[in-house]
Structure 1
Amino acid sequence: MLSWPHLVLSLLLLVLMIAPSLEGGRSSCELNGSCSFDETQEGHEATDSNIWAVLVAGSKGYYNYRHQADVCHAYQILKRGGLKDENIVVFMYDDIAYDESNPKPGVIINHPEGHDVYAGVPKDYTGDSVTATNLYAVLLGDKESVKGRGSGKVVDSKPNDRIFIYYSDHGGPGTLGMPNMPNIYAKDFIEVLEKKHASGTYKEMVIYVESCESGSIFEGLLNENMNIYVTTASNAEESSWGTYCPGMKPPPPPEYDTCLGDLYSVSWMEDSDKQETKEESLEQQYKKVKVRTYNDNSSEGSHVMEYGAKEISVQSISLYQGLRGGSSNTSNIFTNQDQLHPPTIPMGVVNQRDADLVYFQRKYEKMTEGSQEKEDMQKLINDIKNHRSHLDTSIDAIGSHLFGSVNGHVILTSLPTQGKPIVDDWGCLKSMVRIYETHCGALTEYGMKHMRAFANICNKKVSEEAMKVAAVDTCSKHNVGQWSPSKRGYSA
């Protein structure tokens, strides 16, 4: 017969043997989604897990300063969270830090009182290598396709790894901008995600997207069983917003003539900056960002949306952005957290598609009266406005040509059934865009808002020949000049 000490020891050993089999041997933090990256690594099913990140600024030009500033800020958050550069892939044109308009050469800020967020950012894919094709290859871990392009770094993830993707730029229904044409199309992007899922090379993925109509990239397209959780700056029908702009509250330093950030983006990043523990979940961040981005006024704010595997949202943000304090040699982005804009107070904002005019107008106002440079700037502003007017009127005219003056505008602007993608035939969508740009000029970042019109033309089964006739009839007498796609590239 066993003595009491031996009996207690035997029972203890039995418990230790049985415990790992309970709930697959997962720790309590994994079961409730609150694990930090380090805690997850301690679990037996994730001993080799890593966090990978892909950061994409889809624009170029100093007037688009905010997008690259957003991405640089995101990098600093991940770096401070302990992610290694080898696991962070950055796409940015890299033309603003040393632009002649930058009052602080070599420095980029994302907040009026912010630190430099440019220092240390990896130059993985810059200039001409910032393309949709390279982005797709990077996400799929296709080293061969990016050989000789940029750093060649790819997401070489394994089954237990988590992936964080953040994109910031202009967009339109079903599309995201890129500084080198063609743009990203929703169907193509979703197919890349599907291939990544089929390869079994990640555990879970989180995607944050800043752009106008960003919800349209995922609505009706992203399968909920792919272990991908997404939040977007706007729904499928509305603009997103630039902020920290000249003449608005809060403004950038007076020497800056451009917007420093985007409302959705600074909302999630400034929230992440404040996190020093693993406690906040993706869902909690989503709710905070949703309130701040709505901006207390739906006419100057947007509806942050979520898509995909929403059950992932209970997990800690640290599983995708790292654990604050994970890197001791990376300082906080802000010297004083009290400098952050209170989330309950409306922010001064500008429609993403008008932020360039804010910059050019600000430059114009500072120029010497009667000078040649001021005259040239006025001409540039007029050219931009005239081309925008041409885009708007020519799209309406094509609609009238195809569907009649009574029904044309209504058909072009009609919305799909909620939960459905904007178009049935994505190949048709690209063809219609190319036909339009060939005869009427480049859509530009502003004209991306008209992607819904081309989608509806396809949904009405209009032939390419009929579209060509309508475009020629509408635009044959218009001189596209600098707006020719031969100079700017085709967006499809």
Structure 2
Amino acid sequence: MDYYIVGILLFITLFSPFTKSEPTKLDRPSNETELIHGNSKPNCKAAEPTKGKQWAVLIAGSTDYENYRHQADICHAYQILKKGGLKDENIIVFMYDDIAFNVENPRPGVIINQPGGDDVYEGVPKDYTQSAATAANVFAVLLGNKTAVQGGSGKVLDSGPDDHIFIYYADHGATGIIGMTDGLIYAKDLIDVLKKKHEAKAYKTMVIYIEACEAGSMFQGLLPNNWDIYATTAANAEENSFGTYCPDDYPSAPLEYDTCLGDTYSVAWLEDSEMHDLRSETLEKQYKRIRRRVFTQDLDFNSHVTQYGDMKLSKEFLFTYMGTNPDNDNYTSMANSKPSGFSSASQYDAELLHFWYKFHRAPEGSTRKLEAQKELHGKISHRMHVDHSMKEMGKLILGSENSTMMLLKTVRPLDQPVVDDWDCYKMLVKTYEEHCGSLLRYGLKYTRALANMCNAGITMEQMAAASARACAKIKP
């Protein structure tokens, strides 16, 4: 396949009406004016020294160089917490660790999270890497269960009733799902772990930040407001989240990089935390700043940072969870201002963007050009396979060409979880993959259709029959 055919396939994949969902009606908070313009009244009160220990669990769920940004986000978070005074013994890091010394990294041993930024990789603890960076280990660590941990450093969240916990996750997500290197974490399973932690009185307060598409679906209708847990997410339960500092963005990744350096929500909170005295900035104030910076008027590149859980905790100071860098004691808003918005690429397209630039920038006629072309074609072919198989499957089950798209647009009320029967949901995902191959990252965009099939009473047997027929016609 020559250059032009690859280009045509890329255009079809990114802009076909079937693969691009229509914008949905979004709920807006009642305090819209404050969210857009900010609170002009300065917060002069400073945080008191915290009682108990400060703990942090940092999780990058992805692998491979095209997902550079997730490990960059996590490493950057570590540097902020370390400068804030948290101890390495209380910071637990999950990352596959295949980026810093990746053959595609133009600066071996260095990871940056912004154009011209400092190395954020140096000194990061390698607690759970490679085969130890698993969903099961995440749950074991959160529960403080040392005997359940397989591999890694063995560090767990050995917290007590006076301790404060900060959890930050960055990777791909979907409807009630976030990814790990070995599979998926379902919202119901995460909530069950948090419930056990709460019932064990193993913390005083907990804050969770999640960077992922549809991240709000991990908490919507599931996280109670009386567990002393406050969470914010990169997007609500139905939106994409976005990569930033990508090639040809403004600001752009340096020319030698063919991948995005960060994610909009993550970069927003990380850069905000670097600039401010966290003894006088509340979680609520940071939430509003992040929301303003991430929000755009472009519905195709827009997400609403959203908050869940115990809203009383939003009045607490960031210092309680992140410490604070003494260098920020003399913060002034004018001197430390950051750009008001981002150029961005959806999490799904950021992956393809890497392969496109890798192909486009390779020397004509080179082996590297040919290999990049094969990689790009493979990614596009997989997307086309998933698109067609999901469309065909919806037609077989529900009898309409547009069934799958209708299911993707069906959104549940804000007080309800995205699915009622989580076992059904898991089984439908598994059944599809058994017959049609792995969804991989791109295919996760269709999981809302599977969740809504469960909500509509579709059985595993119906799914298996439809998947087998749909994928018998389409070669993976």
Question: TM-score, normalised to structure 1's length?
Answer: 0.84
How far, CA to CA, are the matches of 2:174 and 2:439 in structure 1?
Answer: 11
1:40 partnered with 2:46: no
Contact persistence 2:389–2:471 (CA under 8 A): yes
Tell me what 2:295 maps to: 294
**1:112 match:** 115
**CA drift at 1:360:** 1.1
Which residue of the partner structure matches residue 85 of structure 2? 82
The answer to whether the 8 Å contact 1:70/1:110 transfers is yes
Counterparts of 2:339 and 2:289, CA distance in 1: 8
Aligned to 1:454: 450
TM-score by length of 2: 0.87
Matched with 1:17 is none
Aligned-pair CA distance for 1:277: 5.0
Mapping for residues 304-383 of structure 1, pairs under 5 Å: 304-325=305-326, 342-344=338-340, 346-383=341-378
8 Å Cα contact 2:389/2:474 also seen in 1: no
Percent same amino acid at aligned positions? 51
Describe the SS at the equivalent of 2:180: coil
Query: Which aligned pairs between 1:272-291 and structure 2 lie closer than 5 A?
Result: 272-291=273-292
Aligned to 2:409: 413
What letter corresponds to residue 385 of structure 1 in structure 2? I
Check whether the contact 1:215–1:232 (CA below 8 A) recurs between aligned residues. yes
Indicate whether 1:174 and 2:169 are aligned: no
Is the Cα contact below 8 Å between 2:407 and 2:448 reproduced in 1?
no
For residues 356 and 86 of structure 2, what CA distance do their matches in structure 1 show? 40
Query: What secondary structure, in the 3-state scheme, does the structure 1 residue paired with 2:49 have?
Result: helix
1:484 — aligned with what?
none
Please give the residue correspondences for 1:155-194 in structure 2 after superposition, counting only pairs within 5 Å.
155-181=157-183, 183-194=184-195
Aligned to 1:18: none
- SS at the partner of 1:201? coil
Aligned partner of 1:200 in structure 2 is 201
Which residue identity is paired with 1:230?
Answer: A
Report the counterpart of residue 151 of structure 1 in structure 2.
153
SS of 1:56's equivalent? strand
Instruction: Please state whether the residue corresponding to 1:94 is helix, strand or coil.
Output: coil
Deviation of 1:338 (Å) = 9.1
- Match of 1:55? 58
Q: Using the alignment, how far apart are the partners of 2:394 and 2:199 within structure 1?
A: 41
Instruction: Give CA deviations for 1:86-112 in whole Å, capped at 9, x if unaligned.
Output: 000000000000001111111100010
Q: Which residue of 2 aligns with 1:27?
A: none
Pair 1:371–1:178, CA change in 2 (3 A):
same
Q: Secondary structure of 1:286's partner?
A: helix
Whether 1:125 and 2:128 are equivalent positions in the alignment is yes
Structure-2 separation of matches of 1:125 and 1:324: 26
Answering whether residue 137 of structure 2 is matched by residue 134 of structure 1, we say: yes
Counterpart amino acid of 1:218? F
Counterpart code for 2:367: Q
Aligned mates of 2:428, 2:422 — CA distance in 1 = 10
State the distance in 2 between where 1:435 and 1:304 align.
33
Over 3 Å counting, the alpha-carbon distance change for 1:303 and 1:86 in structure 2 is: same
Is the CA contact (8 Å cut-off) linking 1:169 and 1:177 kept in structure 2?
A: yes
The change in CA–CA distance for 1:338 and 1:97 in structure 2 (over 3 A counts) is farther
Deviation at 1:371, TM superposition (A): 2.2
Structure with bigger gyration radius: 1
How far did 1:358 drift?
1.1
Structure 1 residue aligned with 2:39: none
Whole-angstrom CA distance in 2 between matches of 1:284 and 1:340: 16
Displacement of 1:382: 1.4
**Count of aligned pairs between the two proteins:** 430
1:211 aligns with 2:212: yes
Which consecutive residues of structure 2, in runs of 5 or more, have no partner in the other structure? Answer: 1-42
User: Structure 1 pair 407/376, CA: closer, same or farther in 2 (3 Å)?
Assistant: closer
